[in-house]
Structure 1
Amino acid sequence: MLITPIYAGILALFYLLLSVRVVQKRFTGISLGDGGNESMQRRIRAHANFAEYVPLLLIMIGMLELGRFPVLTIHILGSLLVLARVLHGYALAYTPNWAAGRKYGAALTFGLLLVCGIMCIYLGLTASASVI
Structure 2
Amino acid sequence: MSPGYSTAPDDACLDIREVLNRVGDKWSLLVVGALDGGPRRFNDLRRNIHGVSQRMLTLTLRLLERDGLVTRTVFATVPPSVEYQLTPLGRTLIEPVRALSQWARQHRDEIRAARAQFDGQAVNETVSARQPALDVVEA
TM (norm. structure 2) is 0.31
Larger-Rg structure: 2
Higher helix proportion (structure 1 or 2): 1
Higher strand proportion (structure 1 or 2): 2
Q: Which has the higher contact order (CA 8 A, sep 6+)?
A: 1
